[in-house]
A and B are shown apart, each in its own frame.
Chain A
């Protein structure tokens, strides 16, 4: 079965703190894709990153970094020096090749206080 678990329902931090959002996935596919999306209060889902299962290299983009570990089926997302504008709901999602469906986690609400 395909499943994505985001165990952290809500996280609150103070500005400039680092924060890690956890994502654990389940799949029997040998090839798959993982995604992170950001949903700010306006509601639109903003695509952040896509990672292929055969590429375990971690990625850094500014204050954002992603840690992909197949051994633990995790794809965690870290925000360094968080800012108020980072406040949003963050979704992790799993995709299978040549299908039209993404499996989303239930999301983690991040609140960054000044």
Chain B
């Protein structure tokens, strides 16, 4: 069976500091990978998705970036965090063949102070 991991679970960072969130998937090969953000009390916003190593599509312009250095690893980064970056970050994966059903990780709660 497939499992998806995210770390850290919780992070408190000062404004202007860098960010690196990691997501890994086990039990499958060549998955589609996604980063979402959920602001407090709001819905999910797709930030990035990837269909393969080194292939990243960005949905919204912002100070965040994503990378996929390995097949089952997806990283969300920032060089300088903003207060507005606070939120709940969810990573998701889907089978490449179907693409449509996405399975989510446990998430990372980020608080920027």
A interface list, Cβ under 8 A from B: 33, 35, 37, 42-47, 50, 91, 95-102, 104-107
Contacts of A100 in B (CB 8 A): 32, 34, 49, 51, 57, 94, 99
For residue B103, which residue of chain A has the nearest CB? Answer: A47
Contacts of A107 in B (CB 8 A): 43
Which one, B46, B88, B100, contacts A33 given CB within 8 A?
B100
For residue B109, which residue of chain A has the nearest CB? Answer: A43
Interface class of chain B by DSSP: strand
Q: How large, as a class, is the contact surface on chain B? A: 20 to 34
Q: Closest 6 CB pairs between A and B?
A: A45-B104, A95-B100, A106-B43, A43-B107, A104-B44, A44-B106
Contacts of B42 in A (CB 8 A): 106
B66 interfacial contact with A, CB 8 Å: no
**Complex CA distance for A107 and B107, rounded to whole angstroms:** 17
A59 to chain B, nearest CB (A): 15
Contacts of A43 in B (CB 8 A): 88, 90, 106-107, 109
Flag if B43 contacts A105 (CB, 8 Å): yes
Query: What are 28 contact pairs spanning A and B, CB under 8 A?
Result: A35-B101, A37-B104, A42-B106, A43-B90, A43-B106, A43-B107, A43-B109, A44-B106, A44-B107, A45-B44, A45-B92, A47-B102, A47-B104, A91-B43, A97-B100, A98-B99, A99-B99, A100-B34, A100-B57, A101-B46, A101-B59, A102-B46, A102-B100, A102-B102, A104-B43, A104-B44, A106-B43, A107-B43
